[in-house]
Amino acid sequence: MNFGFGQAHAKAHLLGEHSVVYGYPAIITPLLSLNNKAEITDSDKTIIESDNFSGTMYQLNYRFSGLYSLLTELLNFFGKPDLTFRMNIKSNVPSKKGLGSSAAYAVAITKAVFDYFDYKGSDQEIFKFSQIAENKNHGKSSGGDTFAVMAERPIFFDSDKDATILRLDAKAYIVVADSGTAGLTSQAVKLVADNYAKDRKKYGDYFREMGQIAEQGRKELIAGDLEDFGGLMSENQRLLAQIGVSTPYLERLNKIAIQSGALGAKLTGGGLGGSIVALSKTLPQAKIIEQELKKSGAAGTWISRI
Ligand code: PMV
């Protein structure tokens, strides 16, 4: 019996979401404790099962058309469009929280199907397939999430759609806090596109500034200048609010993180809800920030070393 397994983890944008859709770079870090695991085995009827879905390909197309297109393309690629299979997906990545859950599904599924056919695809091939789902999910996807959910370390994702691993010269921790409200990436990406269409000069300038912040952030992070990097995160947050994707509660969580000793804080991912990410130099400080965010009603919190 054939069997295939694939997994991918969550991610947090440290700098550059949204402007990355317009060709500017972003810095994205993996959240290794949150992951999606997909298994595929032979079966005489196709059934796909996860915590929030159980059904056939036809039903998958109705609920998750991006994943349906991805699976269809994968089966065509391997010359088995009529293959029947059972796929089980286990996930502890909260969805619609700006943590890359859709990319983690796409990559885990792609890797599982590659494994099933004993195919050793490159990261670029996994990227190409996963983007079929991501482009459908986001409307227009930069591809940054897809690389980040495969990476073991923070990445600098550039406008050539390539990712460079960033090696830090210092220890640093992030605290991610889920605001408890859903962040709808496709809506946020559309809102920003509409704003940009209305005033290209103003929004174009915001994107450029975010791009410069990400470029600068790369240098600070590599050099281990965490105070400066934190300042850039907060500066990026100010611009994210200007382009219209922050909310009062996200602002409040950011403020609490800073008051609790974070070096910088910002929303992460699409926004309009979802999560924030705060930077800390030490683990004890990160734990204090986490406690304060919990007291202020954060629905979930995670600490990760970057
Ligand atoms: O909300 P998430 O985790 O899907 O992140 C979206 C990041 C954006 O820059 C807003 C979109 C993209 O395609 O990069």
Q: How many CB atoms lie within 10 A of CB 149?
A: 31
Q: What is the mean pLDDT of residues 118-137?
A: 94
Ligand 1 pocket: which of 145, 192, 196, 207 to mutate (most atoms within 8 A of CB): 145
Confidence bin at 262 (pLDDT 50/70/90): very high
Could you tell me the distance, in angstroms and rounded to a whole number, from the CA of residue 3 to the centre of ligand 1?
32
Q: What is the pLDDT of residues 181-222, one digit of tens each?
A: 998 898 999 999 999 999 999 999 999 999 999 999 999 999
Residue 23 pLDDT exceeds 80: yes
Q: How many CB atoms lie within 10 A of CB 282?
A: 12
Q: What is the pLDDT of residue 107?
A: 98
Residue 270 CB–ligand 1 contact under 6 Å? yes
Q: What is the pLDDT of residues 94-121, one digit of tens each?
A: 999 999 999 999 999 999 999 999 999 9
Q: What is the pLDDT of residue 83?
A: 96
Ligand 1 atom, smallest distance to 140 CA? 13
Confidence bin at 305 (pLDDT 50/70/90): very high
In the numeric block, which tokens belong to residue 193? 């596109």
DSSP 275: E
How far apart are the C-alpha atoms of 178 and 132, rounded to whole Å?
27
**CA-closest candidate to residue 243, choices 217, 263, 270, 275:** 270
Could you tell me the distance, in angstroms and rounded to a whole number, from the CA of residue 83 to the centre of ligand 1?
32
Q: What is the pLDDT of residue 137?
A: 82
Q: What is the pLDDT of residues 155-169, one digit of tens each?
A: 999 977 788 999 887
Could you tell me the distance, in angstroms and rounded to a whole number, from the CA of residue 80 to the centre of ligand 1?
32
Q: Determine contact, residues 258/288, Cβ cutoff 8 Å.
A: no
Residue 139 pLDDT exceeds 80: no
Residues paired with 85 in a beta bridge = 42
Q: How much is the pTM?
A: 0.95
